[in-house]
């Protein structure tokens, strides 16, 4: 360390005055390093406080990477004309000496010192003024992570003793060292948790019995024809690596079926990584999926693997694929086509091998026609479409699902619960627009609000007239929308009296389930508009039988209405 001679005592301020200023500066800096901000923002605020409190011509901070090269540089100055880059850089030789010796460096006259030869800031002072440099190491544990330095300009005498500045900078460097250590611990913990999640997913998949099929399809209940048709297709498609697009209404269990595809595939011993595209903000989705390199953006203090890299050899499930922006769709297309990508801020091309499963409840075909979804990405993910049936089309599975949810509630809460016959009858007649998820919530809500061990029909909100989910399903007729709690089968009445129907009785199917006579078609369809008919067909995936149940008509009347309005059927 090069020590300079102290200035004349008569020109120095009182020691108490400097101590008070330094104490105030330490107080402000301690608030900055403990605030929840990114690393770059925190460092910028620290040097700004140092420059303002001590009236420094320059305050600079440099962090080095694992190779010993400067990684992050921040500075603040009282010079209004200081160039945004270059002028504030500390010479590499100075940084190397402070890092190598791990001791402070104080130079009273930079112009006369060989380490500062060629420094851009030399000569930028008035004649007769002297530039003084003081730098201290920033330590994280026993390792030097960077330098903290200041520059003062004086003429004849100095207003501040150099040893006072050295002590002050050392205290600030100690605070920064602790803050850097905390940031690194948080980054390492996040990486460790991601790897632990992938490891646990791998271990869980290996615990599945290879002989029994039921454990592999855990969570999928039901023996109806509709659900058996889906599970049969899953068994067939799981053998290949073809991308699968799972479609269906919300609450039908798309994630469970995606996991079933993975568990039945040859990749079952590898990771199953799921990503909810709708839950990730646009600003972080690229980093989450592709990962990022250290220093790629503010706060990227360490290299991190993305979800695609973690799914190498296994399956990646992109839920709500229809919610991603058009800008990111183009970036996603390459990795789906070639299996190649670069981390954010990186230049090395990484190649991964994964099975792609996507899910959505959106009408992607309509999005493609409206330029909200890229056509080439649509064809890439829609190789094997899998349509999940809503709960109203598998009403025979309601008793098994209901008993499973009742047993699950009892086991989780230690409160025995059972379903009375009249309660099961109420559930079997409910329309459940929210599908299996709504059934589970209905049972859990009723079990939690009922003090007795046996649940009866009177305990359910729909019987009491308090079921607000009925407002989510509105049957269109004559241009009006009215809430209607529809039964699972047209010939059965709902458990509670529904609101008065808006449409005339002639537009509904007969009580015995028989279709209207052809002569009645015109009168039954007189109030059915073209827009209402198209809306019902799109909602049901252009299945006439489903649209008929929504509109309270027969499939034959729907076919007649389509011809009458000249609506061309869509095929998927």
Comparison of pLDDT for 4 and 325, the residue scoring more: 325
Backbone angles phi, psi at 145, to 5 degrees: -105, -10
As a whole number, the mean pLDDT across the chain is 79
Question: Residue 500 class from Cβ within 10 Å (0-12 exposed, 13-18 middle, 19+ buried)?
Answer: exposed
Query: What residues contact 437, with CB distance under 8 A and at least 6 apart?
Result: 250, 251, 253
Residue 209 has pLDDT above 60, yes or no: no
pLDDT bracket for residue 463 (50, 70, 90): confident
Residue 453 has pLDDT above 70, yes or no: yes
Comparison of pLDDT for 424 and 282, the residue scoring more: 424
Q: What is the largest CA-CA distance in the chain?
A: 114
Residue 292 has pLDDT above 60, yes or no: yes
pLDDT bracket for residue 536 (50, 70, 90): confident
CATH architecture of 503-572: Orthogonal Bundle (1.10)
pLDDT for 499 equals: 39
Query: What is the spatial distance between Cα 569 and Cα 95, in angstroms, rounded to a whole number?
Result: 73
pLDDT for 83 equals: 46
Identify the CATH number of the domain defined by range 208-387.
3.40.50.300
pLDDT tens column, 511-530: 333 334 444 445 556 667 78
pLDDT bracket for residue 261 (50, 70, 90): very high
Coil, strand, or helix at residue 551? Answer: helix
In the chain, what are the domain boundaries? 9-185, 208-387, 393-469, 503-572
pLDDT for 492 equals: 37
pLDDT bracket for residue 164 (50, 70, 90): confident
pLDDT for 502 equals: 35
Locus of tokens 């503010």: 298
| Residues 397/222, Cβ–Cβ less than 8 Å | yes
User: Cα(first)–Cα(last) distance of the chain, in Å?
Assistant: 78
pTM score of the predicted model = 0.47
Fold of 9-185: Beta-Lactamase (3.30.450)
pLDDT for 516 equals: 43
pLDDT tens column, 396-438: 889 999 999 999 998 888 888 899 899 898 888 887 888 898 8
Query: What is the spatial distance between Cα 146 and Cα 139, in angstroms, rounded to a whole number?
Result: 7
Residue 22 has pLDDT above 80, yes or no: no
Query: What is the spatial distance between Cα 45 and Cα 298, in angstroms, rounded to a whole number?
Result: 14
Mean pLDDT check: name the lowest of 159-168, 284-293, 328-337, 477-486. Answer: 477-486
Strands (E), 262-412: 272-276, 291-292, 304-305, 315-319, 340-342, 349-351, 355-360, 384-387
Identify the CATH number of the domain defined by range 393-469.
1.10.8.60
Mean pLDDT in residue range 177-189: 85
Mean pLDDT check: name the lowest of 6-15, 58-67, 83-92. Answer: 6-15
Tokens standing for residue 191: 């990486």
């Amino acid at each position: 360390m090069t020590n300079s001679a102290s200035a004349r005592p008569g020109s120095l301020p009182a020691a108490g005055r400097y101590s008070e200023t330094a104490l105030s500066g330490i107080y402000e800096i301690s608030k900055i390093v403990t605030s929840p901000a990114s690393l770059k923002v925190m460092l910028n605020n620290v040097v700004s406080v140092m420059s303002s409190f001590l009236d420094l011509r320059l305050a600079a901070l440099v962090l080095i990477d694992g190779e010993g090269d400067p990684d992050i540089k921040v500075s603040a100055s009282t010079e209004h004309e200081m160039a945004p880059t270059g002028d504030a850089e500390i010479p590499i030789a100075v940084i190397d000496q402070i890092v190598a010796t791990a001791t402070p460096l104080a130079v009273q006259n930079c112009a006369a010192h060989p380490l500062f030869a060629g420094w851009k800031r030399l000569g930028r002072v008035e004649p007769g003024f002297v530039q003084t440099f003081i730098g201290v190491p920033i330590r994280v544990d026993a390792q030097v992570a960077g330098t903290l330095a200041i520059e003062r300009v004086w003429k004849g005498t100095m207003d501040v003793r150099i040893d006072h500045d050295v002590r002050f900078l050392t205290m600030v460097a100690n605070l920064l060292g602790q803050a850097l250590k905390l940031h690194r611990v948080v980054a390492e913990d996040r990486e460790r948790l991601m790897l632990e999640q992938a490891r646990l997913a791998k271990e869980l998949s290996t615990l599945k019995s290879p002989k029994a099929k039921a454990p592999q399809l855990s969570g999928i209940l039901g023996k109806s024809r509709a659900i058996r048709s889906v599970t049969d297709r899953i068994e067939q498609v799981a053998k290949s690596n073809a991308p699968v697009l799972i479609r269906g209404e919300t609450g039908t269990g798309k994630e469970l079926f995606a996991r079933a595809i993975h568990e039945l595939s040859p990749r079952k011993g590898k990771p199953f990584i799921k990503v909810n595209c709708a839950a990730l903000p646009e600003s972080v989705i690229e980093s989450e999926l592709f990962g990022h390199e250290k220093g790629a953006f503010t706060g990227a203090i360490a290299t991190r693997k993305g979800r695609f890299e973690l799914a190498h050899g296994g399956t990646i499930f992109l839920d709500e694929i229809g919610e991603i922006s058009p800008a990111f769709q183009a970036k996603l297309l390459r990795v789906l086509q070639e299996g190649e990508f670069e981390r954010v801020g990186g230049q090395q091309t990484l190649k991964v091998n994964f099975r792609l499963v996507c899910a959505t409840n959106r009408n992607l075909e309509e999005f493609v026609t409206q330029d909200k979804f890229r056509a080439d990405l649509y064809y890439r993910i829609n190789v094997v479409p899998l349509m999940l049936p809503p709960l109203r089309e598998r009403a025979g599975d309601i008793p098994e699902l209901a008993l499973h949810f009742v047993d699950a509630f009892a086991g989780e809460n230690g409160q025995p619960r059972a379903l009375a016959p009249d309660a099961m009858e109420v559930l079997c007649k409910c329309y459940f627009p929210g599908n299996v998820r709504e059934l589970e919530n209905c049972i859990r809500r009723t079990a939690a609000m009922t003090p007795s061990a046996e649940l009866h029909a009177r305990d359910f909100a729909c019987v009491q007239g308090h079921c607000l989910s009925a407002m989510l399903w509105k049957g269109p007729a004559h241009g009006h929308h009215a809430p209607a709690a529809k039964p699972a089968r047209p010939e059965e009445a709902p458990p509670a009296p529904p609101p008065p129907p808006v449409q005339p009785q002639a537009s509904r199917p007969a009580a015995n389930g028989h279709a209207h006579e052809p002569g009645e078609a015109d009168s039954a369809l007189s109030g059915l508009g073209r827009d209402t008919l198209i809306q019902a067909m799109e909602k049901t995936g252009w299945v006439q039988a489903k649209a008929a149940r929504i509109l309270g008509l027969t499939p034959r009347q729907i076919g007649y209405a389509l011809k009458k309005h000249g609506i061309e059927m869509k095929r998927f």
